[in-house]
A and B are shown apart, each in its own frame.
Chain A
Amino acid sequence: MVDVPFDTVAGVPPAEVGEVELYHPRSWWTRYVFSQDAKIIAIQYSITAMSIGMVALVLSWLMRLQLGFPGTFSFIDPNQYLQFITMHGMIMVIYLLTALFLGGFGNYLIPLMVGARDMVFPYVNMLSYWVYLLAVMVLVSTFFVPGGPTGAGWTLYPPQAILSGTPGQDWGIVLMLASLILFIIGFTMGGLNYVVTVLQARTRGMTLMRLPLTVWGIFTATVMALLAFPALFVASVMLLLDRLLGTSFFMPTLVEMGTLTKYGGGSPILFQHLFWFFGHPEVYIVALPAFGIISDLISVHARKNIFGYRMMVWAIVAIGALSFVVWAHHMYVSGMHPYFGFFFATTTLIIAIPTAIKVYNWVLTLWRGDIHLTIPMLFALAFIITFVNGGLTGLFLGNVVVDVPLSDTMFVVAHFHMVMGIAPIMAVFGGIYHWYPKVTGRMLNEVLGRFHFWVSFLGAYAIFFPMHYLGLLGMPRRYHDIGETAFVPASAHDLNAFMSVAALIVGFAQLVFLFNLIWSLLKGKEAGGNPWGAASLEWQTPETPPGHGNWGKELPIVHRWAYDYSVPGAARDFVAQNEPPAGLSAQGSHA
């Protein structure tokens, strides 16, 4: 009955999928290793991303040991310090956050949330993961090559990135660029998949304006990534050519350690434009999936519809579009034409408006809600605080003249850690605590989870909030040791030591989290199919964890948006997306 009008729409998948259309694993290897099932690929992506993330965590410990107690640890020299910061930044931004949000959450949630059986190109999806794994392995290999990994800073600015004054100039930088190129190839395969799946494989009744905001966030971020990563790709290829073949894309006439090089005629600032044309959208590639996840967590755990859904969707799209015209706000003091500052400061501050709308709508969703302070909700609250904090300091750095004294200081480090480090990681954790029961069928341990939450949130805040003030003081970033200066008081060193101790403790809490992930897999409480009473489609699967093909024999039919919580007159405090309207329930969903 209800599905008749939907069937007449072109491009809507049939309710039953014939055997030939769906890939089936034939052995243990193709089921768990070379799997083409998006859910397995998602878990592979997540485990790989979190493993490499542990490397980044250890690097951050080493950096903080050096900054907090300069000169105490003789095994950290200035070269290594630069290598640590470079690899930490690169891993966190690209190999952890981008991969985890898009490859991990995207792969798991998109097919389930839109009501598809799998991604539309399962084989390409599998390849995407294996190329990503190769990129990670190339990245890790740089720790073991002569000269070690590159110490050029995660921005890899030429000329220094490929000259001998920078550590890792020999092998490190070459492998770093090769790894980035591989990552982008792998991502493109996955990314096309996510976009086509959202556009083409939605189940009947799942209109775009009924998608959960998590899908909107991941979808928009993926489109942006497909447009932004090519800029990094060409920049990496060109830099690699400069390094290996002696071309001069980014290299002007210059002297290397007192000797004139053969380079000439290139432009170092061209690299910066290419890098940030990728790099700024990258911030939102990490932020938009987090926005989406947080919207869903708040709505589910406050038992209330997300406030202003349509505005939230348009805000995501507007932020995505605007983020392509703000890149040079990273370059206010780069020496580009100073008049660009007027344009980029204006576009940058305009982005604050759709972003602020999102924040208002999150807190207005809490208003008159029925707030369950579950662990996902706690992480969502922490996300809002850290994101608002980091977003507001963005108004300092985006406002060109204010950026002049603050750029390249610890203020910048504090800002971007708060806004695209801590905040998205809070969303990652919230998302894991929220969806782990669906992925494994078991709940994560509550006590360990709360310990993990409070130490991570308060600890991270204690590291990065005071750090802004060191930047305001004038302390530059990327210094292994501030050394002798008249303007840095002794108390600043005490503050640094305090931040380092906090960082060690926060890092330790992550080990508790990893333990919880493994322990709960074996011993966690049975979750059931829908432990949170959530309305969106992924919680309505016939099996938990969802079986191969997700939906059993028939695809679900969607009757409403994903946010029908506490609907007046409804029996329960949520109405699932695929629950037929009252008048139709007697006839069943399929005639």
Chain B
Amino acid sequence: MAVAIILLLVAIASVLFHIFSPWWWTPLASNWRYIDDTITLTFWITGAVFFAVVAFMAYCVFRFRHTEGRRAAYNPENKRLEWWLSVGTAIGVAAMLAPGLVVWHQFVTVPANATEVEVMGQQWQWSYRLPGKDGRLGTSDARNVSAENPMGLNPDDPAGQDDVVIQNDDLHLPLGKPVKVLLRSIDVLHDFYVPEFRAKMDMIPGSVTYYWFTPTRTGTFDVLCAELCGAAHAQMRSKVIVEEEKDYHAWLEKQHSFAELSGQRDVAKAAYTRESE
């Protein structure tokens, strides 16, 4: 009796916890409402199954617990029942999988008008790069990495000269414009993760991975690393600031291109060399 009640209480407490939990996803700031909706749908279906199974168990424990003289029924199989349960399960699974695959198709289909933004991970910081006026990002290679060129950009690629390079600073994005985030690493695996955007993808040294989203809400959002990358994994932070188009352009004006940064460094270096002579 007590056991049956406790089993039932576990099921009820789980449902109540779900309903009243103050710990829930952070308010969405991207176009991926479909992902949230698929999670909600999955919660409904799986929650119903969980409650039904545990409640049924509790009922059996209550109703068929051993008492003097009870004898169990003898029924090895019931083809019909097993068949119906299998079909019912298959329908429930399909009801979750089908919308999931439709949304996944959207997730992997980048719209043609998406602007490219590069995010580079390294132990343990983030750097960003935006295409310049030519709308193209120049090539890069881990072999080019040096103190002067921490992102490893190709100094001989004309397409890369006007690229806007953002180091040790936050990324700004304009509101409502689809973004294709190109992800790159020069050392180990990282994962560019902004909880409010829902999207995430590992960055792999030697490859460029991507995902896309459209920011739908202005604000400042935490960037975390979601793939274990060594000792300071938990401290690898940055911020993304989503703002109105006009504010974004004002910010963009103040940023420096790769050519400018290289030039400044050359000047600084020359000055330093002269002084030390």
Q: Which A residues have a C-beta under 8 Å from some C-beta of B?
A: 78-79, 82, 151-153, 155, 157, 159-160, 163, 165-167, 252-258, 260, 266-269, 302-305, 307-311, 333-335, 338-339, 341-342, 345-346, 349-350, 352-353, 356-357, 359-361, 363-364, 366-373, 378, 381, 384-385, 388-389, 392-393, 395-396, 399-402, 404-409, 458, 461, 465-466, 469-470, 472-474, 476, 478-487, 489, 491-492, 495, 563, 565-568, 573
Please determine whether A568 and B74 come into contact, CB atoms closer than 8 angstroms. yes
What is the CA–CA distance of A392 and B221 in the complex, to the nearest angstrom? 31
- With A335-B209, A401-B103 known as contacts, the answer to whether A473 contacts B26 (CB < 8 A) is yes
Please determine whether A465 and B14 come into contact, CB atoms closer than 8 angstroms. yes
- With A78-B234, A165-B229 known as contacts, the answer to whether A260 contacts B53 (CB < 8 A) is no
> B53, B96, B141, B235: which contacts A483 (Cβ < 8 A)?
B235
Q: For chain B residues 81-109, which have a beta carbon within 8 Å of chain A? A: 81-82, 85-86, 89-90, 93, 96-97, 100-101, 103-105, 107-108
- With A157-B189, A333-B200, A371-B66 known as contacts, the answer to whether A483 contacts B234 (CB < 8 A) is yes
Please determine whether A491 and B64 come into contact, CB atoms closer than 8 angstroms. no
- With A157-B189, A160-B228, A485-B222 known as contacts, the answer to whether A342 contacts B104 (CB < 8 A) is yes
> B100, B209, B234: which contacts A345 (Cβ < 8 A)?
B100
- With A307-B76, A308-B78, A359-B53 known as contacts, the answer to whether A353 contacts B90 (CB < 8 A) is yes
Interface residue? B207 (CB, 8 A): yes
- With A353-B93, A472-B23 known as contacts, the answer to whether A370 contacts B101 (CB < 8 A) is no
Please determine whether B188 and A160 come into contact, CB atoms closer than 8 angstroms. yes
What is the CA–CA distance of A86 and B95 in the complex, to the nearest angstrom? 37
B167-203, CB under 8 A of A: which get 1 and which 0? 0000000000000000100111101010110111111
In the complex, chain B residues whose CB is within 8 Å of the CB of A495: 23
Q: For chain B residues 222-251, which have a beta carbon within 8 Å of chain A? A: 222, 224-235, 237
Q: Which residue of B lies closest to A167 (CB)?
A: B231
In the complex, chain A residues whose CB is within 8 Å of the CB of B127: none
Please determine whether B50 and A392 come into contact, CB atoms closer than 8 angstroms. yes
Shortest distance in angstroms between A322's beta carbon and chain B's nearest beta carbon?
13
Interface residue? B114 (CB, 8 A): no
- With A159-B187, A392-B50 known as contacts, the answer to whether A400 contacts B100 (CB < 8 A) is yes
Interface size class of B (residues with CB under 8 A): 35 or more
> A153, A381, A401, A461: which contacts B107 (Cβ < 8 A)?
A401
Shortest distance in angstroms between B168's beta carbon and chain A's nearest beta carbon?
15
What is the CA–CA distance of A258 and B45 in the complex, to the nearest angstrom? 50
Interface residue? B272 (CB, 8 A): no
In the complex, chain B residues whose CB is within 8 Å of the CB of A335: 183, 201-204, 207, 209
> A341, A346, A373: which contacts B108 (Cβ < 8 A)?
A341
In the complex, chain B residues whose CB is within 8 Å of the CB of A399: 38, 42, 96-97, 100
Q: For chain B residues 23-37, which have a beta carbon within 8 Å of chain A? A: 23-26, 32, 34-35
What is the CA–CA distance of A69 and B202 in the complex, to the nearest angstrom? 30
Interface residue? B268 (CB, 8 A): no
Q: Which of B55-63, B130-138, B157-165 has 4 or more CB atoms under 8 Å from chain A?
A: B55-63
What is the CA–CA distance of A385 and B226 in the complex, to the nearest angstrom? 30
Shortest distance in angstroms between B236's beta carbon and chain A's nearest beta carbon?
10
Please determine whether A408 and B53 come into contact, CB atoms closer than 8 angstroms. no
Shortest distance in angstroms between A474's beta carbon and chain B's nearest beta carbon?
3
Please determine whether B193 and A476 come into contact, CB atoms closer than 8 angstroms. yes
Please determine whether B3 and A370 come into contact, CB atoms closer than 8 angstroms. no
5 cross-chain CB contacts under 8 A: A157-B227, A159-B205, A309-B77, A395-B42, A476-B226
Q: Which residue of A lies closest to B18 (CB)?
A: A469
Q: Taking each of A361, A384, A402, A479, which has the highest tally of chain B beta carbons within 10 Å of its own beta carbon?
A: A402
Please determine whether B122 and A481 come into contact, CB atoms closer than 8 angstroms. no
Please determine whether B46 and A396 come into contact, CB atoms closer than 8 angstroms. yes
What is the CA–CA distance of A389 and B77 in the complex, to the nearest angstrom? 26
In the complex, chain A residues whose CB is within 8 Å of the CB of B73: 304, 368-369, 566
> A157, A255, A305: which contacts B76 (Cβ < 8 A)?
A305
Please determine whether B191 and A370 come into contact, CB atoms closer than 8 angstroms. no
Top 10 A-B residue pairs of the complex, sorted by shortest distance between their CB atoms: A252-B206, A474-B195, A165-B230, A335-B209, A160-B188, A392-B46, A304-B72, A366-B60, A338-B108, A399-B100
Please determine whether B77 and A307 come into contact, CB atoms closer than 8 angstroms. yes
In the complex, chain B residues whose CB is within 8 Å of the CB of A356: 85-86, 89
> B23, B70, B147, B198: which contacts A473 (Cβ < 8 A)?
B23
Interface residue? B261 (CB, 8 A): no
Please determine whether A346 and B78 come into contact, CB atoms closer than 8 angstroms. no
- With A165-B188, A304-B73 known as contacts, the answer to whether A482 contacts B226 (CB < 8 A) is no
What is the CA–CA distance of A79 and B142 in the complex, to the nearest angstrom? 27
> A163, A167, A359, A408: which contacts B226 (Cβ < 8 A)?
A408
Q: Which residue of A lies closest to B233 (CB)?
A: A478
Please determine whether A388 and B22 come into contact, CB atoms closer than 8 angstroms. no
Please determine whether B100 and A367 come into contact, CB atoms closer than 8 angstroms. no
Q: Taking each of A255, A267, A400, A472, which has the highest tally of chain B beta carbons within 10 Å of its own beta carbon?
A: A255
New A-B contacts (11) at CB < 8 Å, excluding given A388-B53, A399-B96, A481-B234: A159-B189, A260-B145, A338-B107, A363-B57, A364-B81, A389-B14, A399-B97, A405-B200, A472-B25, A568-B74, A573-B71
What is the CA–CA distance of A470 and B23 in the complex, to the nearest angstrom? 6
Interface residue? B75 (CB, 8 A): yes
Please determine whether B7 and A255 come into contact, CB atoms closer than 8 angstroms. no
In the complex, chain A residues whose CB is within 8 Å of the CB of B235: 483
What is the CA–CA distance of A565 and B70 in the complex, to the nearest angstrom? 13
In the complex, chain B residues whose CB is within 8 Å of the CB of A352: 89, 93
What is the CA–CA distance of A159 and B235 in the complex, to the nearest angstrom? 19
Please determine whether A483 and B228 come into contact, CB atoms closer than 8 angstroms. no
- With A359-B53, A369-B60, A483-B235 known as contacts, the answer to whether A402 contacts B35 (CB < 8 A) is yes
In the complex, chain A residues whose CB is within 8 Å of the CB of B82: 308, 311, 357, 360-361
> A345, A364, A388: which contacts B54 (Cβ < 8 A)?
A388
What is the CA–CA distance of A152 and B67 in the complex, to the nearest angstrom? 54
What is the CA–CA distance of A458 and B231 in the complex, to the nearest angstrom? 34
Please determine whether A372 and B224 come into contact, CB atoms closer than 8 angstroms. no
In the complex, chain A residues whose CB is within 8 Å of the CB of B230: 160, 163, 165-166
Please determine whether B205 and A254 come into contact, CB atoms closer than 8 angstroms. yes
In the complex, chain A residues whose CB is within 8 Å of the CB of B191: 333, 408
Please determine whether B35 and A401 come into contact, CB atoms closer than 8 angstroms. yes
Please determine whether B187 and A334 come into contact, CB atoms closer than 8 angstroms. no
> B23, B100, B183, B226: which contacts A402 (Cβ < 8 A)?
B100
Q: Taking each of B23, B25, B105, B196, which has the highest tally of chain A beta carbons within 10 Å of its own beta carbon?
A: B23
In the complex, chain A residues whose CB is within 8 Å of the CB of B152: 255
Interface residue? B65 (CB, 8 A): yes
Please determine whether A401 and B100 come into contact, CB atoms closer than 8 angstroms. yes
In the complex, chain A residues whose CB is within 8 Å of the CB of B122: 255
What is the CA–CA distance of A163 and B96 in the complex, to the nearest angstrom? 41
Interface residue? B267 (CB, 8 A): no
Interface residue? B49 (CB, 8 A): yes
Please determine whether A307 and B75 come into contact, CB atoms closer than 8 angstroms. yes
In the complex, chain A residues whose CB is within 8 Å of the CB of B233: 82, 478-479
